[in-house]
Structure 1
Amino acid sequence: MTTAAPAELASAAPRRGRRVAAWIAIGVALLVIGGAGAAITAANEWAARGALDPASAGPAGTRAIAEILRDNGVEVEIVRNRDAAARALADDDATLILPDTPALSDDAVEALASGARDVVLIDPRARTLDLFLPGTSPAGVAPSGTAAPACDLPEAERSGAVEPGSIFAIDDADGVTGCYPVDGAYGLVVGARGDDRVAAVDGRTLFSNESLAQNGNAALAANLMGRHPLVVWYVPGPGDTDLQNTDPSLGELTPPWVSPVMVLLLIAGVAAAIWRGRRFGPLVAERLPVMVRVSETTEGRARLYARSRDAVHAADQLRIGALERLARLLGLGPGTSAPEIADAAAGRTGLDRGAVRGILIDDLPRSDADLVELSSRLRHLEDAVHAAVRPERNPR
């Protein structure tokens, strides 16, 4: 005992060291992967903003036109909530760049635009057209190909031809000018709003970074947005809304006891995983002192053969067991053959030698009934040998 303990400790120490080193390596790898993911996410945060975002350098962003306006002396202020936009518009004559704002009510949209001298709708929908340019409506998408301004609007005439994208119909609008006519509709509509002006154009097609350099897109964007020294570019934030949400949330519908129970189940699951996985490494084979009698194995195999409808193999298993027991009863050695055991059994009991050989060797069962009959004959033969070898004594 005293000599084996140091050797066991010496062999266990390297194994523990390897396990600790493996866990440390896994932790370091997770930290490196997480750090790389965070760095990539942070690096792409501004470039991956949504469409028409002037802070986005992606294909659908509008950072290029914002930089062009700044290079030409126009201040561009990007705001992401209504309060900041209202403060910016109150300082000076300004142009409001307004995308689609589904999270704002009609009153909020009109209040937001009330402080601007010019409003440029760069993603006009039916609602905003009704609010700012009554009598106009969306008319689909223009076919491929450029269109000339064909209007007396100086900003469009200086810009030249463009490929409009979405077009707008002018039905009963008063004081509305249409430019870039295509199939009875227009790629640009401009109307008066008191002393101010409203323009509607498909900014997704014309003013995005990937299409700004095509045709007269950049000139048209600069001419429409750069009429005043300040451009307030409103980008709707996810929480910037004045609409009341009357639909109950999932948290409101959930009973208060659900969250603690979920946390408890999570903790229990983690504890169970640690408990069951506390031992790592290869499985260790251990010899157990289990003894199975030969008769149980023989009978079990016989039952398996019987279930599989293999009567011959089942009979063989029954005969093997019977021959082993008969050899022990008759005092024969383990190397005695089956015919010798059969002859010895016939000689001791006085039965016909051919009949005994048929029971122990020759007869083949064809069905389950034959197998049952053979089992009965084997049992009777064993009883006869047992009675012949160990006769009951007469008590008188």
Structure 2
Amino acid sequence: MTAPVQIDEQRSTAERAPRGRRLRSLLGWGIVVVLVLGGVFVAIQVAARMPSDRGALDPESVGDSGAMALAQILDDQGVEVTVHRSRAEARAALDDGATLVMTNPYTLTDEGLEELIAPADRVIFLSTSTHLLNLLRIGDNAASDPSPVDAQCAAPEFAQVGTIRPERLFTPADGVEGCFGTDEAAAVLIDESDGATRVVVEGARLFSNSSLREDGNAALALALLGQTDRVIWYVPSFGDSDIEGEMPDTLGSLTPGWVTPAILLLMITGVSVALWRGRRFGPLVSETLPVTVRASETMHGRARLTAKAGDAAHAAEAIRDGSTRRLARRLGLAVNARPEEVADAAADRLRVPRGSLHDLIAGPLPGDDPALIEMARRLQELESAVDTSSTPIRTPD
């Protein structure tokens, strides 16, 4: 009766084992699926909340440095804002009742910028550079002062703006009106010569999404961009640049096109020939040397060379090294034991004070033949004494 019971128990155990493995496999796959779904969810959330990769004061950027908030305010005030990233389209969209708005057009040449702004009656530069100031002949840079200032000029559109904190000031040129500052330094420059209006202001911070609601920044933006019913907002980019760079001649540009394939073909041919004609290395084969040199001959030859050179220190080092190795073996120490350890072990074996043998085994090497002979004699005596102390003394029965 015991055998059938054992067979049934083994069968039930064998049935439970695959079932347990299947459950563990399903659980593992379930964990993998949950981790993948969690990673996809996190990636979607991060992508949705990442700031826009557009530049500063871009009217389609929701980032802190963008200007979408300003574009929406203008739209709420009834001003039609159209964004163009092509200078040709922006120029074609200009008419008598439109304002051309842009940041510093660093991607355009002087000729390209003049061609773009030529048909515009009103142009607003929301940021500027020293080169742009010189090109427009509108003013120069001045010392910055972040203190709050009001309009302090006769321009009627700035009457209700209030105060702002300018991030950059300019010195107006002759015939150019400066607002929000003094006669020597102003934050806004207005040039109305030649029948057109050109306005320059450094608004990278003032008109950004993060700072538009501070002080009178929004009111200043409306006063500048809300004077016409339409705003043509041009966004400079390197993709719309008219700057043509000239690359210097390189070895690759001066080389004919057939040289590189020819070099590659020669390299491939050389590797193929090396693999074809190269020697195949088989297993190592032991060969009998034609001459057998005994170790004693090598030892005597080195000794004669040392004696001929008169190098007592070298000879003493060899003698001491051999004696130290023999003493270490006789004292039960490791072969690579330090000389100080061998000296202490020998002193313990001979029952002499520790340190008394350090000079002999680990001290300075002799510099002449008499000192070499004396050291060799003392080492031989030390080895003999250690051998004698290691030999058991038999007592007569």
Report the TM-score when normalising by structure 2: 0.58
Distance change (3 Å), C-alpha of 1:245 and 1:229: same
Distance change (3 Å), C-alpha of 1:22 and 1:142: same
**How far is the alpha carbon of 1:246 from its aligned partner?**
3.2
Q: What residue in structure 2 maps to residue 137 of structure 1?
A: 140
Deviations 1:108-133 (A, max 9, x none): 1122222323110111222222233x
Distance change (3 Å), C-alpha of 1:190 and 1:378: same
Deviations 1:335-376 (A, max 9, x none): xxxxxxxxxxxxxxxxxxxxxxx9xx6656853347644565
Answer yes or no: is 1:161 the counterpart of 2:192. no
Alignment of 1:189-268 (within 5 A): 189-192=189-192, 194-247=194-247
From 53, 70, 76, the equivalent of 1:65 is: 70
One-letter code aligned to 1:141: S
**How far is the alpha carbon of 1:98 from its aligned partner?**
1.5
**How far is the alpha carbon of 1:152 from its aligned partner?**
1.9
Distance change (3 Å), C-alpha of 1:142 and 1:376: same
Distance change (3 Å), C-alpha of 1:39 and 1:154: same
Q: What residue in structure 2 maps to residue 177 of structure 1?
A: 177
Distance change (3 Å), C-alpha of 1:231 and 1:375: farther
State the distance in 2 between where 1:193 and 1:377 align: 119
Q: Contact conserved, 1:70 with 1:76, CA < 8 A, in 2? A: yes
One-letter code aligned to 1:106: D
Q: Contact conserved, 1:62 with 1:207, CA < 8 A, in 2? A: yes
Q: Contact conserved, 2:164 with 2:215, CA < 8 A, in 1? A: yes
Deviations 1:11-32 (A, max 9, x none): 9x99999899879967974774
Deviations 1:88-114 (A, max 9, x none): 336x73211121122221111122222
Q: What residue in structure 1 maps to residue 50 of structure 2?
A: 44
Distance change (3 Å), C-alpha of 1:151 and 1:29: same
Distance change (3 Å), C-alpha of 1:192 and 1:146: closer
State the distance in 2 between where 1:299 and 1:49 align: 83
Q: Contact conserved, 2:329 with 2:335, CA < 8 A, in 1? A: no
State the distance in 2 between where 1:151 and 1:26 align: 68
RMSD: 4.6
Q: Contact conserved, 1:165 with 1:202, CA < 8 A, in 2? A: yes
State the distance in 2 between where 1:238 and 1:23 align: 48
SS in structure 2 opposite 1:67? Answer: helix
Task: Name which of structure 1's ranges 370-379 and 156-165 shifts more when overlaid on structure 2.
Answer: 370-379
Q: What residue in structure 2 maps to residue 265 of structure 1?
A: none
Q: What residue in structure 2 maps to residue 79 of structure 1?
A: 84
Q: What residue in structure 2 maps to residue 311 of structure 1?
A: 342
One-letter code aligned to 2:141: P
Q: Contact conserved, 1:315 with 1:374, CA < 8 A, in 2? A: no
**How far is the alpha carbon of 1:179 from its aligned partner?**
1.6
Distance change (3 Å), C-alpha of 1:300 and 1:377: closer
Alignment of 1:110-149 (within 5 A): 110-132=114-136, 134-147=137-150, 149=151
One-letter code aligned to 1:136: G
Q: How many residues align?
A: 286
State the distance in 2 between where 1:19 and 1:93 align: 72
State the distance in 2 between where 1:49 and 1:119 align: 22
Gap regions ≥5 residues in structure 2: 1-12, 265-327, 362-378
State the distance in 2 between where 1:217 and 1:113 align: 25
Q: Contact conserved, 1:305 with 1:313, CA < 8 A, in 2? A: no
Q: Contact conserved, 1:305 with 1:314, CA < 8 A, in 2? A: no
Gap regions ≥5 residues in structure 1: 1-6, 261-296, 317-357, 386-396
Report the TM-score when normalising by structure 1: 0.58
**How far is the alpha carbon of 1:206 from its aligned partner?**
2.6
State the distance in 1 between where 2:22 and 2:156 align: 81
Distance change (3 Å), C-alpha of 1:25 and 1:82: farther
State the distance in 2 between where 1:201 and 1:105 align: 20
Q: Contact conserved, 2:172 with 2:183, CA < 8 A, in 1? A: no
**How far is the alpha carbon of 1:52 from its aligned partner?**
1.5
State the distance in 2 between where 1:35 and 1:371 align: 82
Q: What residue in structure 2 maps to residue 94 of structure 1?
A: 98
Q: Contact conserved, 1:305 with 1:311, CA < 8 A, in 2? A: no
